[in-house]
Amino acid sequence: MFITLEGIDGSGKSTQAELLTENIRSARGEEGVIWTKEPGGWPGGDSLRKVLLEGSLHHPLTEVFLFLADRCEHVEQVILPALAAGKIVVCERYSDSTVAYQWGGRGIERGKIEGLLSWASFPSPDITFWIDLPAEKAYDRMVSRGSPRDRLESEGLSFLSRVRQGFCTLAEENPDRIVPVDGDGRADLIASEIYRKVEEYFFP
């Protein structure tokens, strides 16, 4: 079972990925689930993550190719072996983020991005939870943290708004896979809602 969590920066997807993993472990055992993330969720992936989140990138396609390179190793070294072993994979960010950020946020032609994703033959998630939060609230959350923001988080409110619209479009086009979740609420209540959906889909 392959579960992904998506959303703009500041939406709370990291918290929800962690809580979902904890809930599945409580119900199904420690060894039956792994929690991973992009970029950099594979052995040796920290170097690519650092370049993507902190590097000075100028060509508009550099970011696309680096994210795809990261995903190739992530899928090969982590996701596919876990799925083959019968484990549940909870992944924070995946291909929907590539489309939403690069097409919605950067304005790169969508067909070219999706063509690259198709060519790479990445496995498709069984279900995706899109943690939706208005861009203004997500931006305020990031500002209130007071900690240094990475390169993507520093893009500003208009960028976040475009990315959120990209996720909106993807959710409308893929209702059978993408489940919108209201991210404006208590984290524990949101986590309960997500886990109920997981039980409905996979543990009837």
pLDDT, residue 144, reads 82
CATH architecture classification, 2-202: 3-Layer(aba) Sandwich (3.40)
Q: What whole-number distance in Å separates Cα of residue 143 and Cα of residue 92?
A: 21
- Segments in the chain below pLDDT 50: 148
Q: What whole-number distance in Å separates Cα of residue 176 and Cα of residue 108?
A: 26
Model pTM score: 0.92
Contacts of 154 (CB under 8 A, 6+ apart): none
For residue 140, report the phi and psi dihedrals to the nearest 5 degrees.
Answer: -60, -40
Distance of CA 80 to the CA centre of its chain: 17
Beta partners for residue 36, in sequence order? 91
pLDDT, residue 145, reads 73
Ordered by start, the domain boundaries in the chain are 2-202
Helix (H) or strand (E) run with residue 109 in it: none
Task: Provide the mean pLDDT of the chain.
Answer: 92
